């Protein structure tokens, strides 16, 4: 049996706090022992809208960080953009509200056994899982640089505490309202050319992930990216969340991003086929 | 004690709750959340003769109390299914209803031939809501003649052992006549209903949201359509067992379909919202039957059809 | 400024938002909550030649994001309608689309003759989702030939002035061919969609909840079916104006139907939840069009059908 | 134009208080000036389930009492039985919650110009509007007797304050758990035979209203009853809420209980045809 989702379960968690941070909500949930099974890259599937909701599908959110020790026991942090009805509902839940969730789901970022030079690239709320990851990498002796990008400063999520685990933190905004003006992907080619990075971990919009994959192509840099496709079930039973992914022989098939992802090897994703299907079956 | 067992043709199941085809993948993923032996049977994703990539993404859009999907029967093909997925289910002691789908009458027969020799299958569900490539892509289930020919071909190939359940589409003018046709052609039971052809337009791109443009509507939104379909067909063909489905999310919903005439109930979309939904539905159903003083599921099947004058004779049965 | 005006055949309306037949009664009751002159038109409850009591109660059951009804065309009959209801609407300066329904081809023609001489009508909606008493109660709209004959009879009786809008049922295998048939027979436009045949079983009585057993499903639950129907028919008959309806509750929904191909949008069930819904929908639609840089409703009609390669040329039009 | 609903409007009202009283919830809403137009017998149509609800129709509740002067300005009281999803949702709304309502709707109890001897009969939560009515009748100099019935004591709604406007209050329960054992309709024939009552006002389950109509038939007693049929719109536009009602000539037609009711003359309702339709049109 596939080990995926082996440790996942459903629970009712209580909202410990809900704070606005820029254009996002930082939501802390009391989840108890569950945190022991959560790894950076995993996500949570949340039931939205309350008891009588017309919304029938769960919403996926990356687990930003977990903490075992805290005033409330094990807790999990999410960074949520109020986007549509479901995420807006979640952002409106006050302290003490109960949240129906299933976690931890999906693959996690691979952690190198050797200390490597890691570059973490986040777009928008995509930075959420990177701070937890940075901590793990730091503890393994890695050098951790983090580059965050967004269209505007309000969409950069970079909490104070998170910066501790990071050697360098650079911020890019397209409108120049925070950090440097430009795209977060722009400085990467030089870094690679200068041999300053071994592994790139990325999380953010699909075009950003694709751009990074194209930049590292041909180099020795490994690229682990957390993808985002529309998900109906989040647990592997509906086949809605597929992406074209190549196997070792280069044969492309449609893989479920909820159980074969969200963390995937960027080199294996057939980015040009996303939103299409391979012409013929291998 | 309530007897939850049910039959579809000559196949016996300990519970009337089944997964819905395409909503439990091959069973493995769901097994992380429920014990597959506790439910009636796993109905597998419709399998075709060759492996398929399915349709382009996005493949799903949520709608009020429902969703539309256009998976397009992505799957490994029958050979890999029989070599890997089926043996796994059998090893788990799950009861299995295999769902097959084809693009030609011939493909269905080929699939039936392959399934025939596989051990551990309780019944065959024949999903005829597929485009018929030999007739301008017209869906088999929307064409009385083509539906009949598919079932006839499957029946002849399969022999008499395995019950055949023909899965029909609600997108037709005269469901009852399609149902009669496939029963005449050899179907032992009917699965009602498949999804309802639908579309969502994305207001940002201002184009159809799904990669495939149209998709099938499922979930609680369509439950009243499913209940009507089951009621109508049970009224016309009271002896033909019906596997009902469409928007079942609670024990109340399952009982509604059973009262309308379903001997079994498949749970599809509700499993996406809660992978253990089928187990809660089963428990709730048991409770509801008890409160209504039924001692078995069988007593409740089609109970909504009893004449108004009828005195309640359940206890004497 | 956004030009909200629209046309259906040769009838002009200042707004694309209409009431839905049977969801505004005769207009008077709604006038307590909105100014009828502000909307495109009042589409009246389908009127038959004789007064009708309709179906027994209960006539309604709520369903997830929807409801089913079995009113059964209760109404005063055409003579009283023309003598009382219509003049009142005209006196209020409301634009009026009269909806007619019959049990025989002849009854439709008779109704058309009576309507012909009445002043103040913008268009005639012909509700053919009615049982045909001359053919085993088979609904006209489910029978290509009967639909055509109804429209043909109305067209011949009515002459060429008043636009005829044929209202179709989604409960058919091939909606496009029914649409083509009625257009050939003389319909100037199509109203899509009527309710979807459905049922709810009452878990207390364990019988069909509605007095009439089956009813029509309406509300947001069916919107994806309506969008698909409108898109399909607009694709096949791009020049035929469509009055779209089915689950519209917000400006977003109205725009979705317009992008799919509707030139006008009727609001039905949403008015039950909020009698002023049509006004908020109209305001929201205006806002959504503006954000998307449309300057008129006309530009948005069928916009979801444009080829993928198309450069956005709206501003140059 | 029909005067029905002339004064009705939609508003967002705040919950002032929500108390459990027996098996009901007594819910006080701040509705401001609207109370000036509310008469005993009128009802309110409430949107239930919150913003993302799968419930699309309003729920009807009788206006139990209104008060112009109070710590919060005009307020309206409802007595709600937690029955299905919608009424349960309403019963779960705490102080401060906002409620979308349309009111006042429907017909009101007719108030005699002369002082009469009035009997008010309530079944279950049907007593709700009778206390407000009793007050009005009392102020007109009427003698007001009130008989309340229910299956069990927890389903009797009879607030302390309400009793002030009533000369006699008798309670009947079928299980004898409160007041006298029996049905509330049982003592009525004797009252009528003894000539002790001029008008009966009733509100409660349809079989109770029907029984009273049958009891008063043939006598001079007027019977005004508040009926209850399933309503989709509450404002007269959907034709779902109809009841067979006779006109002056005895011709029965299907009348809308939302605008030609809920208060109707019990003698005009064709009780034997409820749930059926008249055979032919007059
Ligand atoms: C693995 C994964 C991790 C994610 N992590 C985060 C996170 O940490 N923070 C955050 O703010 N958002 C995250 N998202 C995106 C988030 O799931 C969507 O924004 C959210 O589901 C939108 O729901 P809605 O009801 O607000 O929008 P609606 O548009 O009303 O949603 C309708 C449907 O579309 C789906 N959908 C809409 N947008 C997206 C999207 N961008 N990706 C996937 N499905 C979508 C929804 O799940 C739902 O089924 C993540 C998505 C995935 C798949
Ligand atoms: C004029 C009028 C006055 C009423 N006054 C009161 C009151 O003061 N207190 C009180 O507790 N209840 C009252 N009711 C009944 C109340 O409206 C229903 O109990 C309530 O609508 C049930 O909604 P639900 O969502 O809880 O139940 P559900 O069963 O989920 O409701 C589903 C649908 O059925 C309708 N429905 C269900 N039961 C009834 C019913 N008994 N009567 C009418 N429609 C129903 C609902 O309106 C809704 O559309 C009144 C009803 C009417 C028509
Ligand atoms: C994502 C998805 C995939 C489906 N795939 C299949 C399939 O492969 N074969 C089939 O017969 N039905 C398929 N169906 C239809 C379901 O089996 C079921 O008939 C329908 O969804 C109604 O039930 P529900 O409302 O409980 O989901 C699929 C439905 C969904 C939502
Ligand atoms: C209570 C009710 C009564 C209706 N009566 C009619 C009618 O008389 N004639 C008709 O053509 N359609 C009738 N319809 C169908 C509506 O006009 C509309 O086509 C359908 O309800 C879908 O729109 P909606 O989801 O906005 O309600 C009725 C619908 C409802 C809910
Ligand atoms: S979301 Fe269902 S399989 Fe991935
Ligand atoms: S409830 Fe709609 S007409 Fe009475």
What is the residue extent of each domain of chain B? 6-54+73-199+217-316
Q: Given this model, what pLDDT does residue B317 score?
A: 38
Q: Which ligand is nearest to the CA of D258?
A: 6
Q: What is the mean pLDDT of residues C243-261?
A: 98
Residues A153 and A268 in one domain: yes
**E strand spans, B134-287:** 138-139, 164-167, 189-192, 196-198, 201-202, 207-208, 215-218, 242-245, 264-267
- Between the two ends of chain D, the Cα-to-Cα distance in Å is 25
The last residue of one of the domains, among A59, A83, A105, is A105
Is the residue at A111 inside a domain? no
C-chain CB neighbours of A54 within 8 Å are: 64-65, 220
Per-residue pLDDT of chain B in tens (317 residues, 90 and over written 9) = 899 999 999 999 999 999 999 999 889 999 999 999 999 999 999 999 999 999 999 999 999 999 999 999 999 999 999 999 999 999 999 999 999 999 999 999 999 999 998 999 999 999 999 888 888 888 999 999 999 999 999 999 998 889 999 999 999 999 999 999 999 999 999 999 999 999 999 999 999 999 999 999 999 999 999 999 999 999 999 999 999 999 999 999 999 999 999 999 999 999 999 999 999 999 999 999 999 999 999 999 999 999 876 555 554 43
CB pairs under 8 A between A and B: 117
C200, B227 contact by CB (below 8 A): yes
Stretch D16-24: mean pLDDT, rounded?
A: 95
Are D162 and D95 part of one and the same domain? no
Give me the pLDDT at residue D280, please.
64
D281 has a pLDDT exceeding 70: no
D3 within some domain: no
Please, what is the Cα angle at C83 between C78 and C88, to 5 degrees?
Answer: 115
CB contact under 8 A, C199 and B259: no
Are A236 and A139 within one domain? yes
Of A111-115, C58-62, C97-101, C184-188, which gets the smallest average pLDDT? A111-115
Where residue D137 sits, what CATH number does that domain have? 3.40.50.80
Supply the pLDDT for residue C316.
40
Domain extent, residue A156, equals 117-273
Neighbours of chain C (3+ CB pairs under 8 A): A, B, D
Matching residue, tokens 């691979």: A110
Nearest CA in chain C to D232: C272
Residue with tokens 């206390």: D131
Find out whether the beta carbon of A60 lies less than 6 Å from any atom of ligand 5: no
pLDDT (average), residues C10-33: 95
Same domain for D50 and D169, yes or no, is no
Q: Is B67 helix (H, G, I), strand (E, B) or coil?
A: strand
* Chain D contact present for A276, CB below 8 A: no
**D101 class by beta-carbon count within 10 Å (0-12 exposed, 13-18 middle, 19+ buried):** buried
D contact test, residue of A46, A47, A54 with most D CBs within 10 A:
A54
The answer to the question of residue A232 being in a domain is yes
Rounded Cα gap, residues C219 and B264, in angstroms: 29
pTM recorded for the entire structure: 0.97
Helices and strands in chain A, H and E counts: 4, 16
In a domain, D279, yes or no: no
Q: Are C23 and D238 inside 8 Å of each other by CB? A: yes
Domain boundary among D105, D138, D170: D105
Judged by DSSP in three states, B43 sits in strand
- H or E segment to which residue D150 belongs: strand D143-150
What's the farthest any 2 CA atoms get from each other in chain A?
Answer: 56
10 Å CB burial of residue D19 (0-12, 13-18, 19+) is: exposed
Q: Long-range pairs for B178-181 at CB < 8 Å and ≥24 separation?
A: B178/B141, B178/B144, B178/B147, B179/B233, B179/B236, B179/B237, B179/B240, B180/B236, B180/B237, B181/B144, B181/B145, B181/B147, B181/B148
The tokens for C229 are: 């129907």
Residues A85 and A130 in one domain: no
Chains within contact range of chain B (3+ C-beta pairs < 8 Å): A, C, D
Choose, out of B53, B66, B79, B267, the residue to mutate when testing the contact with A (most A CBs < 10 Å).
B53
The shortest C-alpha distance from C247 to chain B (Å) reads 9
D158 — pLDDT class (breaks 50, 70, 90): confident
Ligand 2 center to D184 CA (angstroms) = 22
Strands A168-173 and A143-150: parallel
| Chain center to CA of C273 | 18
> SS3 for B260?
helix
Q: Which residues pair with A122 in a beta bridge?
A: A148, A203
Alpha helix positions (H), chain A: 85-91, 128-139, 188-193, 206-216
Q: Are B168 and B182 in contact (CB under 8 A)?
A: yes
Band of pLDDT at residue D204, cut at 50, 70 and 90: very high
- Report whether pLDDT(D2) > 70: no
Q: What's the CATH number where A51 sits? A: 2.40.30.10
DSSP code per residue over C261-315: T-SEEEE-THHHH-TTHHHHHHHHHHHHHHHTT-SBHHHHTTGGGS-TT----GG
Residues of A in contact with C64 (CB under 8 A): 54
Cα A87 to ligand 1 centre (Å): 7
Ligand 3 centre and the CA of B194: distance in Å?
Answer: 6
Same domain membership, residue A178 and residue A66? no
DSSP element (H, E) containing B99? strand B96-100
Residue B59 CA: nearest ligand 3 atom is 1
Of residues D133, D131, D161, the one with CA closest to residue D148: D131
For ligand 2, what atom is nearest to the CA of residue D125? 9
Number of Cβ atoms within 10 Å of the Cβ of C262:
34
Confidence (pLDDT) at B314: 52
| Backbone region of residue D195 per phi and psi (left: phi > 0; alpha: psi in -120 to 50; beta: other values) | left
Q: How far is B26 from chain A (nearest CA, A)?
A: 8
Q: Does A96 touch chain D (CB under 8 A)?
A: no
Instruction: Look at residue D71 and tell me if it is in a domain.
Output: yes
Instruction: Answer whether residue D22 is part of any domain.
Output: yes
Query: Partners for A (CB, 8 Å, 3+ pairs)?
Result: B, C, D
Q: How many beta-carbon contacts under 8 Å exist across A and D?
A: 23
Residue A162 lies in a domain: yes
Question: Could you give the number of structural domains in chain D?
Answer: 2
Q: Provide, as residue numbers in chain B, all residues whose Cβ is less than 8 Å from the Cβ of C288.
A: 203
Instruction: Compute the half-sphere exposure of residue D101: CA atoms within 13 Å on the CB side of its CA.
Output: 28
Atom of ligand 2 nearest to the CA of D82: 26
Contacts of A16 (CB under 8 A, 6+ apart): A28, A29, A30, A72, A75, A95
Is C130 part of the annotated catalytic residue set? yes
DSSP chain C: --B--EEETTEEESSSEEEPTTSSTTSTTGGGTS-GGGSSBEEPPPB-SS-B--PPSP-EEEETTEEEE-----B--HHHIIIIIHHHHHHTT--EEEEE--SSHHHHHHHHHHHHT-SS--EEEEE--SEETTTTTEEGGG-HHHHHHHHHHHHHHH-SSS-EEEE--S-SS-HHHHHHHHHHTT-SEEEE--PEEEE-EETTTTEESBTTBEEEEESGGGHHHHHHHHHHHHHH-TTS-EEEESS--SHHHHHHHHHHT-SEEEE-THHHH-TTHHHHHHHHHHHHHHHTT-SBHHHHTTGGGS-TT----GGG-
Distances (CA, A) of A64 to A20, A123, A152: 15, 14, 21
* Ligand 3 atom closest to A238 (CA): 1
pLDDT tens column, A65-121? 999 876 778 999 999 999 999 999 999 999 999 999 999 999 999 999 999 999 999
State how far the alpha carbon of A279 is from the alpha carbons of A127, A251, A254, A273, B165, in Å: 35, 12, 12, 10, 33
Work out the minimum CA distance from D58 to partner chain A, whole angstroms: 14
Ligand minimally distant from the alpha carbon of residue A231: 5
**Could you tell me if B297 and B16 are in contact, meaning their C-beta atoms sit under 8 angstroms apart?**
yes
Q: Which of C130, C162, C178, C260 is catalytic?
A: C130
Q: Where are the beta strands (DSSP E) in A98-175?
A: 98-105, 117-123, 143-150, 168-173
Which of residues 75 through 94 in chain D touch A, CB cutoff 8 A? 85, 89
How many CB atoms are closer than 10 A to CB C173? 20
Q: How far apart are the C-alpha atoms of C286 and A269, rounded to whole Å?
A: 42
A267/A264 Cα distance (integer angstroms):
9
Residues with CB under 6 A from ligand 6: D 231-234, 236-241, 256, 258
Q: Which residues of B touch C (CB under 8 A)?
A: 63-66, 68, 142, 171-174, 196-201, 203, 206-208, 213-214, 217, 219-225, 227-228, 231, 247, 252, 255-256, 259-260, 288, 292, 303-304, 306, 308
Alpha-carbon distance of D173 to D148, in angstroms, equals 8
Beta-carbon contacts below 8 Å between B and C:
137
A54 reaches C (C-beta below 8 A): yes
B59: Cβ contacts below 8 Å, ≥ 6 apart:
A230, A239, A240, A241, A242, B69, B70, B71, B72, B210, B211, B212, B215
Please indicate, yes or no, whether residues D257 and D133 belong to a single structural domain of this protein. Answer: yes
> Ligand 5 within 6 A of A233 CB?
yes
CB contact under 8 A, D54 and A50: no
Among all bound ligands, the one having the nearest atom to the CA of C68 is 4
Confidence (pLDDT) at C42: 98
- Shortest distance, CA A233 to any CA of chain D (angstroms): 20
Quickly count: other Cβ atoms within 10 Å of residue D94's Cβ.
Answer: 8
Q: Please say whether the beta carbons of D132 and D63 come within 8 A.
A: yes
Task: Give, for ligand 5, the residue of A231, A243, A254 to mutate: max count of ligand atoms closer than 8 Å to Cβ.
Answer: A231
Closest CB from C220, C259, C303 relative to B64: C220
In a domain, A226, yes or no: yes
- Burial class of residue B137 (count of CB atoms within 10 Å of its CB; 0-12, 13-18, 19+): exposed
Task: Report the nearest-CA residue for atom 30 of ligand 2.
Answer: D84
Asked if A167 and A243 sit in the same domain, the reply is: yes
Which pairing describes strands A98-105 and A43-46: parallel, antiparallel, or unpaired? Answer: antiparallel
Assign C226 a pLDDT band (cuts: 50, 70, 90). Answer: very high
The number of C-alpha atoms within 13 Å of A14 and in the hemisphere containing its C-beta is 8
pLDDT of residue A1: 38
Shared-domain flag, residues A130 and A83: no
Using 50 as the pLDDT threshold, list the residues of chain A that sit under it: 1-2
Higher pLDDT, B148 or C136: B148
Residue among B140, B216, B219, B274 whose CB has most ligand 3 atoms within 8 A, to mutate: B216
Partner B contacted by D276 (CB < 8 A): no
CA A179 to chain CA centroid, Å, is 22
The topology under which CATH files domain B6-54+73-199+217-316 is TIM Barrel (3.20.20)
Q: By CB neighbour count within 10 A (0-12 exposed, 13-18 middle, 19+ buried), where does C15 fall?
A: buried
> ∠ CA B316-C209-D277 to the nearest 5 degrees?
110
Give residue C1's pLDDT: 84
Average pLDDT, chain D: 93
Same domain assignment for residues D81 and D13: yes
- Contact partners, residue D212, CB within 8 Å, separation at least 6: D121, D185, D188, D200, D202, D223, D225, D266
Which residues, other chains included, contact B8 with Cβ-Cβ below 8 Å and sequence gap of 6+? Answer: B123, B163, B165, B188, B189, B241, B243, B263, B264
Ligand 1 centroid to A62 CA: how many Å? 10
Ligand 4 environment, Cβ below 6 A: C 20-23, 45-46, 69, 71, 73, 99, 127, 167, 194-195, 218-219, 222, 245-248, 267-270; D 238
Domain boundary among the residues D82, D105, D128 is at D105
Residues A54 and A127 in one domain: no
Interface pTM, i.e. ipTM: 0.96
Of D49, D52, D55, the CB nearest to A85: D52
Chain D hits for B220, CB-CB cut-off 8 Å, are 54
Residue A146 Cβ < 6 Å to ligand 5: no
Residues A121 and A237 in one domain: yes
What are the Cα distances from residue A26, in Å, to A31, A61, A81, A99, D130?
15, 12, 9, 15, 51
């Amino acid at each position: 049996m596939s080990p995926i989702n082996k440790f996942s379960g459903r629970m009712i968690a209580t909202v410990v706090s809900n704070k606005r941070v820029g254009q996002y909500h930082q939501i802390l949930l009391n989840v108890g022992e569950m945190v022991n099974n959560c790894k950076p890259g995993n996500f949570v599937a949340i039931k939205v809208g309350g008891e009588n909701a017309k919304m029938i599908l769960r919403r996926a959110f990356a687990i930003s960080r977990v903490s075992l020790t805290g005033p409330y026991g094990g807790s999990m942090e999410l960074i949520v953009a109020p986007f549509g009805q479901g995420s807006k509902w979640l952002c409106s839940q006050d302290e003490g509200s109960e949240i129906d969730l299933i976690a931890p789901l999906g693959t996690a970022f691979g952690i190198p056994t050797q200390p490597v030079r890691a570059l973490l690239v986040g777009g928008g709320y995509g930075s959420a899982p990177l701070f937890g990851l940075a901590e793990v990498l730091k503890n393994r002796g890695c050098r951790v640089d983090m580059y965050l990008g967004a269209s505007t400063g309000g969409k950069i999520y970079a909490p104070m505490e998170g910066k501790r685990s990071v050697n360098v933190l650079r911020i890019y905004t397209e409108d120049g309202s925070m950090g440097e003006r430009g795209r977060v992907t722009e400085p990467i080619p030089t870094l690679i050319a200068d041999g300053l990075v071994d592994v790139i971990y990325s999380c953010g919009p699909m075009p950003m992930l694709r751009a990074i994959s194209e930049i590292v192509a041909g180099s020795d840099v490994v690229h682990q990216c957390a993808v985002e496709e529309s998900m109906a079930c989040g647990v592997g039973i509906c086949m809605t969340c597929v992406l074209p992914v190549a196997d070792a022989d280069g044969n492309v098939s449609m893989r479920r991003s909820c159980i074969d992802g969200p963390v995937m090897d960027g080199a294996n994703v057939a980015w040009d086929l996303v939103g299409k299907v391979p012409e013929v079956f291998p | 004690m309530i007897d939850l067992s049910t039959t579809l043709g000559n196949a016996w199941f300990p519970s009337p709750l089944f997964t819905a085809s395409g909503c439990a993948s091959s069973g493995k993923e769901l097994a992380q959340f429920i014990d597959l032996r506790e439910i009636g049977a796993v109905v597998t994703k419709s399998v075709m003769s060759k492996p398929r990539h399915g349709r382009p993404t996005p493949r799903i859009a949520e709608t009020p109390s429902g969703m539309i999907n256009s998976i397009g029967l992505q799957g490994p093909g029958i050979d890999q299914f029989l070599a890997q997925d089926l043996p796994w289910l059998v090893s788990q002691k799950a009861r299995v209803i295999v769902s097959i789908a084809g693009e030609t009458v011939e493909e269905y027969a080929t699939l039936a031939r392959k399934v025939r020799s596989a051990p551990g299958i309780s019944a065959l569900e024949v999903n005829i809501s597929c485009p018929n490539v030999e007739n301008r892509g017209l869906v088999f289930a929307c064409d009385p003649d083509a539906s009949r020919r598919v079932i006839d071909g499957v029946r002849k190939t399969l022999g008499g052992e395995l019950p055949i359940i023909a899965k029909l589409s609600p997108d037709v003018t005269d469901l009852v006549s399609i149902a009669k046709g496939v029963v005449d052609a050899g179907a032992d039971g009917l699965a009602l209903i498949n999804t309802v052809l639908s579309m969502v337009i994305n207001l940002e791109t201002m184009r159809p949201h799904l990669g495939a443009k149209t998709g099938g509507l499922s979930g609680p939104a369509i439950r009243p359509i499913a209940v009507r379909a089951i009621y109508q067909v049970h009224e016309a063909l009271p002896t033909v067992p019906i596997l009902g489905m469409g928007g079942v999310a609670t024990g109340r919903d399952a009982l509604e379909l059973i009262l309308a005439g379903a001997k079994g109930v498949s749970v599809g979309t509700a499993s996406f919202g809660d992978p253990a939904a089928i187990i809660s539905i089963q428990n709730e159903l048991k409770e509801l039957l008890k409160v209504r003083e039924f001692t078995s599921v069988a007593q409740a099947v089609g109970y909504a059809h009893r004449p108004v004058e009828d005195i309640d004779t359940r206890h004497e049965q």
